[in-house]
Structure 1
Amino acid sequence: MKCFDNHLEELFGLPALLFPQTGEAAGTVKPGAVAWRIGYPRWEVDEELWNETFDRFCAEIDVTQVRALIAGNWEDMEDTDSSEVVAALLAAREQLPALRALFLGDITEEECKFSRIHQSDVSPLLAAFPALEEFGMRAGVRDDQGQTGGTLQFPALRHDALRRLVVQSCELPYDIVRGVAASDLPALEHLELWLGSEEYGFRCEVTDLEDILSGTRLPRLRHLALTNSDLQDDIATAVASAPVVAQLEVLDLSKGTLGDEGAAALLSGQPLTHLKQLDLHHNFISKPFRQRLRETLEPAGVHVNLGTEKSDKDEKNIHEDRYICLGALTHW
């Protein structure tokens, strides 16, 4: 299955349910028992504007009890950014006192190519919902000509309640990465950044991750995912001596171009035997290094996820022709 063949099935530990409810009578579902998905599947005959659906949602459901919201398709994601969705959520903030989880851009590959999902400045949402515990989004940052740009913004901020932050992309620009890295998030336990590839416009350096790797602003971080990158060997080398690793339970460097260089750095760096899981699936690591990783970490109780071995490639090709996982699914 591809990464995003289907919509989210859950958020905040709650099962996702499309509004209006498919196969459910209005009013029979407890508002706080599900993660409400707003946004019709694209190309549906009776498609309506996202804001119109959201207005009906607020009128028909007791939104004071809603704990999780998923924003799906808005009007032509390829040409229209999420600013109207953000504005609608901001306007409804007084009606949503129980909101604890929000995901923007639950859009499948069939509905819109990942790199064409236009986001906007999402930081006002975190300011407007100080009790929010989970925030995530899928984002492309290309303009209409396929050039790097777009309107996604995430300036450095402080949020005292956020426990989980997920940004899925194949082309995160350096200012977004730096904004996340420079944010003060004292409650954050799970950070997941899908960084991307130069092929799609990714222009970050490992130095942009320094504030994350130091752990200074993230004292409660237990799950760190720096994934889907063509800098994966360099990231692994930096992680091998990063102070934040000592506090982690899960380290995820998957979905990228990790090879023997990165594997060797992880093996020769600080001990990783305290981890519960090391996720390296979708990699370009040779069989000898895969074996060394398992022999070093699995006896200590670390679950090492190396994914399926690329046995159909010879040794030369394992180290060449590398590609990130998500980018391989989003060619134009």
Structure 2
Amino acid sequence: MDAGSGLVGAADATPEYGPVNRDHTTEFVGLPVVAFPLDPDAPLPVAAEDGRSVAWRLECDVRWRAQFGHTLPELFDLFLRRVDAARVEAVVFGVWSTEMDSGDHPVQVLVAAADRLPALRRVFIADVGSQDIEISWIANPPVTPLLESFPRLEELWVRGGPEDKDVPILSAIEHESLRTLVLQAGNLPSETIRSIGQCSFPELERLEIYFGDPYYGGTGSADDVRSLLTGQGLPKLRYLGLKNAVVQDAIAAALAGAPIVEQLHTLDLSLGTLGDDGAAALLAGQSLGHLRKLDLHHHYLSQEMGDRLRHALPGVEIDLSGQITDADRYVAVAE
């Protein structure tokens, strides 16, 4: 696992694809993930009892763990009564309902309890894999109220798309503390991607946007990131991931002359359909020699183009793993 990604899966070392499709996260931004027991009579995990900082995992799986029958609001109320809520730094949500929609959603229970969670800095919504539910089925309401209710939140990871494609997951907002924003989806619509470009995040260092496949609702295009690529509102951004896109070549071409590239140490165009045209556009644009890493894994580049990149950028770590030679191109995370 790339330590910079913030996630560690139980058995897979691939930064994004493992957690999305196989294992639940065992470490979240440096903290061990500890499951809160569904059984109200079960003891709390030792790691949480001895004063260590942990990321609490809350899962209310009514399909397979109906013995206790908690709704998410009920489980969260039990959680707040059993732990020292004032010390909770990080929360990871797994499955919260059969449908995984906005009913009894993590955003709602967190916002309702904001005054009881003064130390909360890190939130991961929908740490689930395909063994739980397909990523395209996860429907999230807007997370803007979460940022408004927690002005000191530093890490926000959201898996799944919007419940309503016409209502952005994140509206235009200014947040003074957020350092990492990751939206992992197979179906992000244009409305959400454009809205991110209207936000002001003066402390944001890492931004990852998974575009997805149009078949599932991933309608984002290179035009939707034009505002974001100016760098306005993102003065400290160092890691930019515009990834998992059917239009990966067009995104690469848009980045070739984008002002924001100058301030980055990592450019991540992985998991999508990047081919020789996109790589050629990158090479023909502004210098990328200042980058520490260019992440292109899961790509459709020819061997010749891969060699050109390595020759042109000898001081840059270039991840060209996962070369695909299929005639039909597909993104890594869609359904």
Q: Name the TM-score, length of structure 2 as normaliser.
A: 0.87
Q: Which residue of structure 1 aligns with residue 33 of structure 2?
A: 16
1:276 aligns with 2:292: yes
Between the aligned partners of 2:133 and 2:24, the Cα distance in structure 1 is 12
Task: Determine if the alignment matches structure 1 residue 7 to structure 2 residue 24.
Answer: yes
Q: Which sits farther off after the overlay, 149-158 or 240-249?
A: 149-158
Q: CA deviation at 1:112?
A: 0.8
Q: Is 1:130 aligned to 2:146, yes or no?
A: no
> CA-to-partner distance for each residue in 1:41-88, whole Å, 9 max, x for gaps?
55224252222211111000001011111121112235x325543222
When the two structures are aligned, how many residues end up with a matched partner?
A: 312
- Provide the C-alpha distance between the structure 2 equivalents of 1:114 and 1:165, rounded to a whole number of angstroms: 18
Q: Report matched runs for 1:141-220 at 5 Å.
A: 141=162, 149=165, 153-220=169-236
Indicate the residue corresponding to 2:118 in structure 1: 97
Q: 1:303 to 1:118 in 2, by over 3 A?
A: same
**Distance in 2, Cα, partners of 1:191 & 1:110:** 27
Equivalence for 1:295: 311
Distance 1:150 1:82 in 2: 18
The 3 A distance-change label for structure 1 pair 242 and 118 is same
**What do residues 228-247 of structure 1 show as CA deviations (whole Å, max 9, x unaligned)?**
00010000001111100010
Greater displacement, 149-158 / 104-113: 149-158
Does residue 62 (structure 1) correspond to residue 78 (structure 2)? The answer is no
Match of 1:324 in 2: 331
Change (3 A) 1:151 1:104: farther
User: Residues of 1 paired with 2:119 and 2:162: CA distance?
Assistant: 31
- Which residue matches 2:322? 308
Q: Say if 2:269 is the partner of 1:249.
A: no
* Partner of residue 117, structure 1: 138
Partner of 1:26: 44
Question: Which of 53, 64, 71 is matched with 2:93 structurally?
Answer: 71
Structure 2 residue matching 1:9: 3-state secondary structure:
strand
Contact 2:142–2:162, Cα closer than 8 Å, also in 1: no
Shift of 1:160: 0.5
- Shift, 1:12, TM fit: 2.8
Residues 31 and 66 of structure 1 are in contact (CA less than 8 Å); yes or no, is this contact kept in structure 2?
A: no
Q: 1:121 to 1:32 in 2, by over 3 A?
A: farther
Cα shift at 1:162: 0.3
| Counterpart secondary structure, 1:226 | strand
Unaligned runs of at least 5 residues, structure 1: 143-147
1:79-98 Cα distance to aligned partner (Å, 9 max, x none): x3255432221121111101
**% identical equivalent positions:** 39
The one-letter amino acid paired with 1:58 is L
Q: Deviations over 1:114-154 (max 9, x none)?
A: 10101112110100000000111011347xxxxx8486632
CA offset at residue 101 of structure 1?
A: 0.6
In structure 2, the CA distance between the partners of 1:153 and 1:325, relative to structure 1 (3 Å rule), is: same
CA contact (8 A) 1:50 1:73 kept: no
The change in CA–CA distance for 1:220 and 1:149 in structure 2 (over 3 A counts) is closer
Give the direction of change, closer, same or farther, for the CA distance of 1:6–1:40 in structure 2 (3 Å limit).
farther
Pairing partner for 1:87 from 82, 85, 108: 108
Unaligned ranges ≥5, structure 2: 1-11, 13-17
Preserved contact between residue 67 and residue 98 of structure 1 (Cα < 8 Å): yes
What root-mean-square deviation, in Å, do the aligned CA atoms of Structure 1 and Structure 2 show?
Answer: 2.1
**For residue 67 of structure 1, what is the amino acid of its counterpart?**
E
Distance 1:70 1:106 in 2: 7
- For 1:180 and 1:150, the matched residues in 2 are separated by 14
Asked if the contact 1:139/1:169 (under 8 Å) is kept, the reply is yes
Superimposed CA distance per residue, residues 185-209 of structure 1 (whole angstroms, 9 cap, x where no aligned partner): 1110000000112121222221210
